[in-house]
Amino acid sequence: MTMLQRTVGAEVTRVEGREKVTGAALYAYEYPVPDALYGWAVQSTVPRGTVRAVDTVAALSLPGVVAVLDSRNVARLRPTDTPELAVLQSPEVAYRGQIVAAVVADTFETARQAAATVRVEYDVDDHDAELLDGDPRIFVPETVNGGYPGHTETGDVEAALAAAPVVLDATYTTPPEHTAAMEPHATIAVWDGDTLTLYNGDQGPWMTAARVAELFGLPEGAVRIVADHTGGGFGSKAIPRPPTVLAALAARAVGRPVKVAATRQQMFTMVSYRTPTLQRIRLGAERDGRLTAIWHDALQQSSTLTPYCEQTVTCTRVMYAARHRRTTHRLAQLDVPTPSWMRAPGEAPGMFALESAMDELAVALGMDPIELRVANEPSVDPGTGHPFSSRNLVACLREGAARFGWAGRDPAPGLRREGHWLLGTGVAACNYPALTWPSTATARAEPGGGFTVRIAAADIGTGARTALTQVAADELGVGMDRVTLDIGRSAYGQAPWAGGSMGLSSWGWAVSKACRALTKRLDEVSGAIPPGGLEERADTAEDVEARRAFSRHAYGAQFAEVRVDAVTGQVRVDRLLGMFAAGRVINPRTAGSQLRGGMCMGLSMALHENLETDPRFGDFANHDLATYHIAANADVRDVQAHWLEENDDELNPMGSKGVGELGIVGTAAAIANAVYHATGVRVRDLPITVERVR
């Protein structure tokens, strides 16, 4: 008998690390598929209208061009609840950048050159791509992304605000933002009769397969996704995007495999973005800081194709106690590309507004911002009335403050100076739901003594494969070296995305259950493995369903120290410190790296990220990473993520909460609050650019 080895909780390095750094790991575009052609999308140059004619003569005369596709010569797809995936299904144009034609050729370069010669004529309609409050088309959706109610109201907020001795009323804005994953979207589509294999950069292989099968009217299982490695996604690869559908349509049309890779420039309109938000927050408080009223309204945009509405105010429903509460989403459907999930959709912009407002209220009350938050700590979830499975926000604030060195902070703004630099510190709380989704896993004892565990998980760089190997090894009572974790294939069964921070909690549950069943079976046969191996399959649908009603969220406190150039207004973030409570941490190395990565994204959101909408063209003016700024190494100095021990039995067998998105939430508010402390200038509009600080 080997000694039972506990690997959960250990600082394990990535199991596929060597494969990745040596270039052996295959990403979607790199699979050696024989006989493949190359597809290139032709995108609409108008925001709204109808394609009248597509002139393909010049393109088809180029040597190497195999086909030019448009809405007249591709397969018909089934009606879909994701209309932006109805690629080339009609001549109607709903946004600038929409795919209106495509070239298939024997090389990538030929396809690109030919695409440039395709002449598309449009009947152009008037368009409206500007998100303006007061637009008569604005409506309150019944439900928003995640299935949350669009609007909630308890008590009499207006009356409570009118009676409150201290009131805050402020409007915050966040711009549209781009997911900017390192690996651009890529797909190789291979048809074999009515079976479709897609090598696809993917956050959720099983989910994608199901959706593509539906689109093509194929039975479940007829579409297979292969996504062994994916280079980031941040929501943009959580569902198939138009380039994936184009690859499948093109391969169908030409009868050969087709590779489609979106260029960095094409990604800006083809693979989704975060909606801009215009948020108004009204808070009413007693003089001791206790909130009596919370009012949060968020105006957002979607395309005319679909009313996608991000859950921007749901975080406010959970955060603070107050008797009178109102939270509302409002949506305008414009002639713009369809927004979608991006890096803590909802929480990231929503908590920027709420946690900035809490800081402003603390200033108005003359109260320490940490004490203000502690004073409003609820005993149950204020939105649902459910008990918390665990909530250690106060402990995060206290412990974070101690580690950061918050004590003795002079709250007066604009006082600390080092040469031409103004110095300041800020704090913000964060939360993110601890979600889980039904999953299926198989665990197999091989005759040679090894174990193979299969689940349709995706590792988008997070370390999921490694953490799942740890979970499996512990359940099986063997060392990690005896366990092979196969992920990234839709054929392994139902599993959710590497998204919504629910990956590890969901997949790990099924892996743990399958391994436990296998261990039991091995005991029954006294460890005698038949020549064909022994396999157990587990499904967590009923387990997930049967859980008690609890409010399940991870929490944290974000601290920022900034310096602002008194002359130029340049903001530098000297230090970020996050103190989190996210259940049991499976792998401190990969979890810490996710949390720090999230904080860097928060820094990026605070200072840089901004899609400039040009309403004249109905599109974004920046189409590359030279003009769409994300934080670079030089922006990131001291970023620390710490966490508390947290035991929560109401989650899953590992006791884990997701850490993929928690780190980005609250960071931008902590930085904006620190900028206020440094300068006395309250920036309510992201990003915090020099002209907004001075």
Catalytic residue positions, numbered: 661
If the CB atoms of residues 522 and 686 are measured against ligand MOS, the closer one turns out to be 686
- Confirm or reject binding of residue 499 to ligand MOS (CB under 6 A): yes
- Confirm or reject binding of residue 184 to ligand MOS (CB under 6 A): no
d(CA 43, CA 49): 13
Beta carbons within 10 angstroms of residue 600's beta carbon:
22
Contact call for residues 293 and 277 (beta carbons, < 8 A): no
Give the number of residues in contact with ligand MOS, rule: CB under 6 A.
11
If the CB atoms of residues 179 and 442 are measured against ligand MOS, the closer one turns out to be 179
Part of the chain binding ligand MOS (CB under 6 A), chosen from 25-33, 256-264, 336-344, 601-609: 336-344
If the CB atoms of residues 127 and 185 are measured against ligand MOS, the closer one turns out to be 185
**Tokens encoding 95:** 């946004």
- Confirm or reject binding of residue 598 to ligand MOS (CB under 6 A): no
- Confirm or reject binding of residue 503 to ligand MOS (CB under 6 A): no
If the CB atoms of residues 342 and 515 are measured against ligand MOS, the closer one turns out to be 342
- Confirm or reject binding of residue 188 to ligand MOS (CB under 6 A): no
Part of the chain binding ligand MOS (CB under 6 A), chosen from 148-156, 184-192, 311-319, 339-347: 339-347
- Confirm or reject binding of residue 201 to ligand MOS (CB under 6 A): no
- Confirm or reject binding of residue 271 to ligand MOS (CB under 6 A): no
Site track for ligand MOS across 210-249, x = CB under 6 A: -----------------------xxx--x-----------
Min dist. Cβ of residue 238 to ligand MOS (A): 5
C-alpha dihedral (252, 254, 257, 263), degrees to nearest 10? -90
How distant is the alpha carbon of residue 20 from its chain centre? 23
Q: Which of 89, 117, 187, 203 binds ligand MOS (CB under 6 A)?
A: 203
Q: Which of 216, 341, 404, 580 binds ligand MOS (CB under 6 A)?
A: 341
Burial (CB < 10 A; 0-12, 13-18, 19+), residue 136, is exposed
β pairing state of 571-581 and 638-643? parallel
Burial (CB < 10 A; 0-12, 13-18, 19+), residue 76, is exposed
**Tokens encoding 399:** 């412990």
Q: Which of 240, 349, 433, 500 binds ligand MOS (CB under 6 A)?
A: 500
- Confirm or reject binding of residue 423 to ligand MOS (CB under 6 A): no
How distant is the alpha carbon of residue 156 from its chain centre? 34
d(CA 580, CA 657): 11
Reduced to 3 states (helix: H, G, I; strand: E, B; else coil), residue 640 is strand
Which helix (H) or strand (E) segment holds residue 171: the answer is strand 166-174
- Confirm or reject binding of residue 166 to ligand MOS (CB under 6 A): no
Min dist. Cβ of residue 430 to ligand MOS (A): 15
d(CA 311, CA 475): 36
Part of the chain binding ligand MOS (CB under 6 A), chosen from 222-230, 335-343, 536-544, 613-621: 335-343
Tokens 């993520």, residue located: 641
Please tell me the chain's helix, strand, coil percentages from 3-state DSSP, rounded to the nearest 5. Answer: 30, 25, 45
Q: Which amino acid is residue 330, in one-letter code?
A: R
Part of the chain binding ligand MOS (CB under 6 A), chosen from 249-257, 320-328, 338-346, 683-691: 338-346
Contact call for residues 672 and 356 (beta carbons, < 8 A): yes
Contacts of 132 (CB under 8 A, 6+ apart): 332
If the CB atoms of residues 341 and 388 are measured against ligand MOS, the closer one turns out to be 341
- What letters, b where the CB count within 10 A reaches 16 and e where it falls short, cover 630-655? bbeeebeeebbbbbbebebebbbbbb
Burial (CB < 10 A; 0-12, 13-18, 19+), residue 574, is middle
d(CA 354, CA 430): 10
Min dist. Cβ of residue 233 to ligand MOS (A): 6
Part of the chain binding ligand MOS (CB under 6 A), chosen from 192-200, 318-326, 342-350, 560-568: 342-350
Residue nearest to ligand MOS (CB): 235
If the CB atoms of residues 47 and 235 are measured against ligand MOS, the closer one turns out to be 235
Min dist. Cβ of residue 295 to ligand MOS (A): 27
Nearest to 69, CA basis, from 100, 39, 40, 102: 102
- Within residues 362-421, the interface with ligand MOS by CB under 6 A covers none
- Confirm or reject binding of residue 339 to ligand MOS (CB under 6 A): no
Site track for ligand MOS across 289-308, x = CB under 6 A: --------------------
Min dist. Cβ of residue 460 to ligand MOS (A): 8
C-alpha dihedral (457, 459, 462, 464), degrees to nearest 10? 40
If the CB atoms of residues 392 and 594 are measured against ligand MOS, the closer one turns out to be 594
- Confirm or reject binding of residue 345 to ligand MOS (CB under 6 A): yes
Min dist. Cβ of residue 340 to ligand MOS (A): 8
β pairing state of 277-285 and 166-174? antiparallel
Interface positions with ligand MOS (CB under 6 A): 203, 233-235, 238, 341-343, 345, 499-500
